[in-house]
Amino acid sequence: MAIFQESSLQDPSAVFFLVASTALLSYLAYTKICLELTRRAFKRQHGCQPLTAKQSGRGPFGLRDMYQLITAKKENRLLELYHQRHAEIGSTYVTAGTVFTNDPINIKCALATRFEDWCVPA
């Protein structure tokens, strides 16, 4: 003889939260993978080379950089700070997703290919 019991229903809000968070994480992972694949294809198509110089010693979360930037801005010496960083790091480097370069060839190539994609401050 077998005895079957009806299982109790789970809390609907917990199930909804689990489904929603799984969907969100899946979407974020999908978009990240698609972005990376698009960037790889672009690099291959245009013959982009990886950056040779990377910035190190920025402190936790880039706080040292932020402090230096704020101090330099208050003292009206941002140009000197960027010149110093280029001398220490190299002609082209990336910080927080922003590309900094003082190489005229890099600037010319960036502005010549799809100019509308670049944000050039006035």
pTM across the whole model: 0.52
Does residue 113 sit in helix, strand or coil? coil
The answer on pLDDT for 2 being more than 70 is no
| Beta-carbon count within 10 A of 62 CB | 13
20 and 59 part of one domain: no
Domain that holds residue 31: 11-48
120 and 63 part of one domain: yes
| Total number of domains constituting the chain | 2
| pLDDT, tens only, 45-70 | 888 877 755 666 666 777 888 888 89
Asked if 64 and 48 count as a contact pair (C-beta separation under 8 A), the reply is no
Mean pLDDT of the chain, nearest integer = 81
16 and 75 part of one domain: no
Query: Alpha-carbon distance 30 to 27, whole Å?
Result: 5
Asked if 86 and 92 count as a contact pair (C-beta separation under 8 A), the reply is no
Q: Read off the tokens for 53.
A: 């110089």
Burial class (CB in 10 A: 0-12, 13-18, 19+), 113: exposed
Q: What is the pLDDT of residue 58?
A: 67
Q: What is the pLDDT of residue 64?
A: 82
Q: What is the pLDDT of residue 33?
A: 95
